[in-house]
Structure 1
Amino acid sequence: MKKLFKIQYDKVIDKLRANIATVKPYFENMQKASISLLLKLTLIVVIVFSVIWLGKFAWKHLADQDIFLVSPTTFSFDTPDWATDEFIHEINNIHGLKNKYNIFEKDLTKRIVVAYESSPLISKVNYVERELPNKLKMKFELRRPVAIIKRKRKKHLVDKDCVRIPGDFYKYPEEGDEPIYIISRKSVKVPEYGEKWKDKSIEDGINLLNYLKHNKIDKLLKIVSIDVSKIEGRRKDNKIGVELWTKNGAKIKWGFSPSSGQVSELSNYEKLQNLLSVAMEEGADLGNMEYVDVRWKTPLAKRTRVR
């Protein structure tokens, strides 16, 4: 029995050895093919990374050439006629900019926008675009004075957005114009240059001035001041809101802003029509008028006494 089992065992072993011998060349070929494929893949990876590295090196070397450097000191702008030499110099030397930039720098345009919008002379940067090889194309809006805020014997220049701006860089009033004052007696903190006045009455005064300028009334009637010191009151307290004064000394009782919530308050358009109706009858300069009250449906007016 043992001999029979041994014979069968030997047959199985011989068969396995025969099978192994048969498939061994196949496995050897597969191993060789795998090694060859792995070597090829490794070579491809090495080539790809070499190309990428060489490309980055070549690009960096090319990008670092002086031809791709842009300097803010060489910027030139189309400035308006009202811009002074000091204003132009300040715009050409914005604080926070480096001496040179590479045109391919990451977030370059964003950094330029941040630097220019931090200037109190600039209200908004519309866009900054790269132009190869070494130019930046940009457009921004400049702040321009529209009035002087007068409070506590001190004067502060302000633009149409009620933002305080430095007077050293402007000539105000401009040639041929008269200054316009916003009269305020309210005690509020004076903002830094480039910051907005946090005073509702001053803001209402500037908004009214913008409206008058838009309709060219400021020059027609020679408005010289807008008194907003009484704007916080109510009519029942004998307050009349905003008062306008002309160069000839006529007082215009304008009232409160449309957003003040005053009952039966006329719109700015209705008040303007009232004012123009009086001006057409008495003369555009209101030279013979002591005051004009445009707060009512029918305007009131009083002539100066002739001595």
Structure 2
Amino acid sequence: MRVLVADDDPGVRLVAKTVVEELGHECMQAADGHEAWDMFRRCQPQVLITDRVMPGIDGLQLCRAVRESERNSYAYVVMLTSLAKRDEILAGIDAGADDYVIKPVEPFALHSRLLVAQRVTSLHLELGRYRLELAQQAHTDPLTGLNNRLQLPAYLERLHHRSVRYGRDYSLALCDVDFFKPYNDTYGHQAGDRALQAVASALASFGRHSDDIYRYGGEEFLLVLPEQAALAATAALKRFRATVQKLGIVHSGSPLGVLTVSAGISSFVPGGTSDSEALLRQADTALYQAKAAGRNAVFTLEDLPATAEPA
């Protein structure tokens, strides 16, 4: 563990440093509250041992600052004090301290607190990993491993505002597996799941690091292409369409005898008036037209006849 000791008494810092290092932990030292707060922000120690009364920021203020700054981590705080009154101890705990050591500091007392601190911080670290894993699962489609739609509206709004502000293009591509219901009816849902996984993997292989890919619904996928104009987006989706066809997934209900995909693309152009919701509708309309034209095709908004309507 990284342990920060904050005390204006060099003797107390020496005792604490000795105990901390005997237990195999890294010790950092600060002689006043301001220095301690600066070191805490830069080094993010797992444990803070702080004097109750010291120059600059006192122990209560430092403790409150630590608690207010915490997001996905937890620092165990031990407060050192010669003020042994109950109301002083309660004030420290109310400010966020986990434990108290009454001065003069005895090595055994500090040793026992550090053992507890190690156990508590380990539990918080494990809980943090668990929360992160849950957050990732909440935003991930379990079948394909792609993003699900949960975070899509907020992401599209941020992308659109950024593109408007800086005058950047971006494109949306809505993809759909052709004749997927007949495929499921013929080969079974397990085969259908494997087919969706294969299509998702092919789509992910075409995405740039900056692209976001979502399972949009059943057999539909959405590819978000920041800073990519319609021409480049169309070229990428045509390669993806050809790759899926070359996978050779047998589909007796398809005119080509293999599984294929269609895609509809819409693009934001700097100075344009369409927002992200309108672009999604336009991509859906383009996809509808690609399927109406025979499937296994990629259409953009420019390819649409004036009478085209979304599915």
- TM-score over 0.5 for the pair: no
Q: Taking structure 2 as the reference length, what is the TM-score of the superposition? A: 0.29
More helix by share: 2
Question: TM-score, normalized by length of structure 1?
Answer: 0.29
Pair member with larger Rg: 1
Kindly indicate whether structure 1 or structure 2 has the higher relative contact order, using CA contacts under 8 Å at least 6 residues apart.
2
